[in-house]
């Protein structure tokens, strides 16, 4: 149920009167009453509402929260977008032909996969029902959303920011081997999942792609494979009319995938976006209370700020550690430290954006929490939540068995928690509900059903991940 449209009658005893005053919370529909009493003022009168809106808008200004410039969003009928759509779902881009970008970033799962930790090559199924293949392991980090990545404000990609860019420069694990012609930092990101043994490439001995020694070899072989399928060369010619066929490279595949992602997943018509644009009626009373908390005493805005609601910085939140870990320190995941070697970056991960966040559970870099209320509670008390964390209460499937709970990890991780996440004062259960209501207001209604984005068939003839995955239980927020 969409909680934004449930009117609630709140009965308050005013002073010593025996007669309760009935105040109706706004449904968010212009013309309907708004009137829940806050600690700082009455929401039930036009004067009180105007005062509260002025105060909230001042806070949004303090945190530089403005409307998002979506960037270059091509129409879905653009030839580059059409090519990118086919490639986004194309399993021939994986070494074994068994997984695509869409498997972990499916339109029916909020551009993620509904799992705490992704299941890559060799997996079976889609969404929360996806299972590990024989002798396979989980991918170390939660599958991030890909909403609104066309904005030129984006400077980093991945949980550890290992892909980053600014005009005229891209930084990535490929270094100088990154090909020329990549258009955006999102295009650069699209170069790398196909090179990961766990995500898409496969392991040595499984296929010819997996046996290649260098990144350029992998990219060249995948490009050749895609162009070998009848139907793709004509799509490439339409998408890149000024490029000679012999010059096609994986950068053209990456640019097309990025163009599709921007065209398909730019969703900026949420109630909150309409409020930021000037519509005072776009948010109801509870959502406004939640926004005031978010950008006030709950301290969320310290990191979730700016037009994208992320500072794109890396902070230690001490989220429970699930999965195999990453790098030489496995089973630990040191986060940003693995890229910088800076001791201050141990266990630090990038602040995620929040639009359409209700659709992207589970949350945190390890997918440790499946409800918004629990991830809020973790932000309010990281040490208490990680020390009392029981994986089976929050995580479905085998990922719960991978919880890292040794005392060394708990002490080192919690001792590094960023002071930015500490609330200014205690937050009540009612206030947590208000924060959840605000987060729900960040959803663009058109994001609920994007099944029309799934193609009927793949040019390669491989199976397309088209079915809407059924969750084991309704999505929870509290």
Give whole-number Cα distances, 280 to 37, 49, 283, 310, in Å: 17, 9, 7, 23
DSSP per-residue string spanning 217-231: HHHHHHHHHHHTSTT
Residue 433 annotated among the catalytic residues of the structure: no
DSSP per-residue string spanning 260-271: HHHHHH----SH
Which 8-state DSSP code applies to residue 11?
Answer: E
How far, in Å, CA of 194 to CA of 251, rounded? Answer: 12
How far, in Å, CA of 283 to CA of 291, rounded? Answer: 10
Burial classification of residue 408, based on how many CB atoms lie within 10 Å of its CB (0-12 exposed, 13-18 middle, 19 or more buried): exposed
CB atoms within 10 A of CB 396: 18
DSSP per-residue string spanning 268-288: --SHHHHHHTT-TTSS-HHHH
How far, in Å, CA of 212 to CA of 95, rounded? Answer: 11
Q: What's the token pair of residue 155?
A: 């400077």
Cβ proximity of 94 and 376 under 8 Å:
no
In the set 198, 199, 339, 431, the catalytic residue is: 199
Q: Which residues are catalytic?
A: 199
């Amino acid at each position: 149920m969409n909680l934004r449209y449930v009117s609630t009658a709140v009965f308050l005893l005013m002073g010593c009167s025996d007669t309760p005053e009935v105040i109706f919370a706004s449904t968010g529909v212009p013309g309907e009453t708004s009137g829940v009493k806050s600690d700082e003022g009455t929401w039930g009168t036009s004067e009180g509402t105007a005062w509260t809106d002025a105060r909230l808008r001042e806070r949004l200004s303090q945190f530089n929260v403005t409307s998002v410039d979506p960037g270059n969003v091509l129409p879905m009928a653009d030839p580059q977008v059409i090519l990118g759509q086919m490639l986004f779902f194309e399993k021939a881009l994986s070494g074994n032909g068994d997984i695509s970008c869409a498997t972990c970033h499916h339109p029916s799962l909020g551009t993620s996969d509904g799992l705490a930790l992704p299941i890559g090559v060799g997996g079976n199924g889609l969404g929360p029902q996806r299972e590990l293949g024989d002798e396979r392991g989980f991918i170390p980090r939660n599958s991030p959303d890909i909403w609104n990545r066309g904005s030129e404000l984006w400077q980093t990609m991945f949980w550890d920011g290992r892909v980053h860019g600014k005009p005229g420069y891209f930084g990535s694990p490929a270094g100088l081997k990154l090909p020329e012609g990549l258009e955006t930092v999102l295009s650069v990101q699209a170069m790398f999942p196909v090179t990961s043994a766990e995500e898409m490439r496969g392991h040595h001995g499984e296929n010819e792609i997996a046996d290649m020694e260098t990144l350029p070899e992998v990219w060249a072989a995948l490009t050749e494979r895609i162009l070998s399928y009848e139907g793709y060369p004509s799509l490439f010619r339409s998408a890149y009319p000024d490029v000679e066929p012999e010059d096609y490279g994986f950068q053209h595949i990456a640019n097309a995938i990025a163009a599709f992602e921007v065209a398909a997943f730019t969703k900026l018509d949420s109630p909150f976006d309409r409020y930021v644009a000037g519509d005072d009626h776009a948010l109801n009373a509870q959502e406004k209370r939640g926004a005031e908390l978010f950008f006030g005493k709950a301290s969320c805005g310290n990191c979730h700020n700016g037009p994208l609601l992320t500072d794109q910085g890396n902070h230690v939140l001490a989220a429970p550690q699930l999965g195999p870990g990453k790098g030489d320190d496995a089973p630990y995941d040191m986060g940003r430290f693995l890229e910088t070697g800076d001791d201050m970056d141990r266990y630090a991960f990038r602040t995620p954006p929040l639009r359409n966040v209700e659709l992207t559970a589970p949350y945190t870099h390890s997918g440790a929490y499946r409800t918004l209320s629990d991830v809020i509670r973790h932000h309010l008390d990281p040490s208490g939540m990680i020390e009392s964390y029981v994986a089976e209460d929050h995580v479905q499937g085998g990922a719960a068995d991978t919880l890292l709970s040794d005392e060394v990890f708990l002490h080192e991780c919690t001792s590094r928690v960023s002071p930015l996440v500490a609330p200014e004062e205690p937050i009540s259960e009612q206030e947590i509900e208000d924060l959840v209501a605000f987060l729900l207001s960040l959803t663009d209604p058109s994001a609920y059903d994007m099944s029309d984005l799934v193609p009927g068939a793949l040019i390669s003839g491989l199976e397309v991940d088209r079915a809407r995955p059924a969750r084991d239980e309704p999505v929870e927020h509290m």
